[in-house]
Structure 1
Amino acid sequence: MHPLLGQLLEQRHLSSARLIFSLNDYDVISDLHSSLKAIREIFDSPDYVDNRVDQSVVEIALARITAAIRETNSMEAHAAALVALLDSALSHELSSTSNGFWKDDSPHCKIVLDLLSSLFLNYGKRSIMILVLPMAMKALTCKNEEIIRNTSSYIALAAIHNGKTLSHYSLQIIANITNNGNYSLLRVLPQVYNYNQEPIEAHLPKLLELLHRSQARIT
């Protein structure tokens, strides 16, 4: 891990935050395992939800790391590590709390959203989507509306190039539509149907009913 990243992640020196954005991208990702391990240890801490400094440290470090991965076009090499971090973040409380006129998302929600956004920038790369889509299915089961909404949009985008991979999750997708009212996932069914017809045909009457209902809402 670069010393500046170490100061930020291990010593919580926010004064290092500005400097890490001037680092060479390859220096940032040279020891990604250690950096991501440090990030996970911070947000796994019981007091993370109340520690604004730690939250800022994680947000800054993740922003710099994902930017470096993007600029070096090395997501295929690092996707598994980011997916593991996403899995850990998804295990925390993600529900929103009402605060008068607005809702506050949990600090872990921000991590999940940032990681999903970064990973799904590569929706056209099958090797990455094979790793990411199982976590996307897991994200759909959380209680945070923003995560569910964003993940559904990402899945619809990924379906364009990954219908076969997504077809393995046909039953989960159908359950999200029929049981949870996630009508936006209706968009992925044509791509999934090309590779896995039976689950869709088994639920076709219900799916058609929901499709007509969703179209009626739009009109």
Structure 2
Amino acid sequence: MEITANRLTAAAGLCAAAAGAIFLGVQVNHPPADVEHIVTGEMAVRETAKVLMTVLAMIGITGMFLRNRERFGVLGLAGYGLLMAGFLSLFAVECIVGYVLPAVAHSNPGYVQDVLDAAVGGSPKGDIGHMSQLFLVSGIGYALGGLLFGIALFRARVLARWAAALLAYGTTSALALSALPESFNRPFAVPTAVALIGLGVSLWRDGAGAPAAAWVPEPATR
């Protein structure tokens, strides 16, 4: 099968839509973020799904950026860079929560609970080391990057504008979670999940419906 730019665009759209669907699905009946549940098989499956979600989201976001790069300008570039940093940090967080914390939950439950509290926007009681910086990068990249990237997408008028606006709103609204109970975490993820699905479907349609253009690597510069 010939690899074309349009097929790559459509594939990136499917990745974004799948990321949104996974992000939405893992919120359903999500267990509390505590030491008791972090060691369960259910949480291992959920965290693995979240890791997959971040990878698919980064592929989808890159596809959106490449499709609109000529219309994005500095705002879109900044939004893309920040949002990618946010999702990359989130990827690291989910790997640590899913595969590292369960291994130390029995020997150091206090530290594990502190990390979990910070992960859902709470204030840890003890020192969690460099995890604080990781959460900070993840939060800033996700919120500010999502806002700028959503605005750039909205202004580009290529993909679904309602989904672009919802992305800007959904990612920015997550900043309020630090002042809200943990129970608000799941509903606040819904707008971003729906936005990814909408943008992904829009990008897929854009790639599938556009005239085929073969993808040819640019010649190396000397």
Query: Higher helix fraction: Structure 1 or Structure 2?
Result: 2
Q: Does TM, scored on the shorter chain, surpass 0.5?
A: no
Q: Which has the higher contact order (CA 8 A, sep 6+)?
A: 2
Q: If the length of structure 2 is used for normalisation, what is the TM-score? A: 0.32
When Rg is computed on C-alpha atoms for both structures, the one with the higher figure is 1
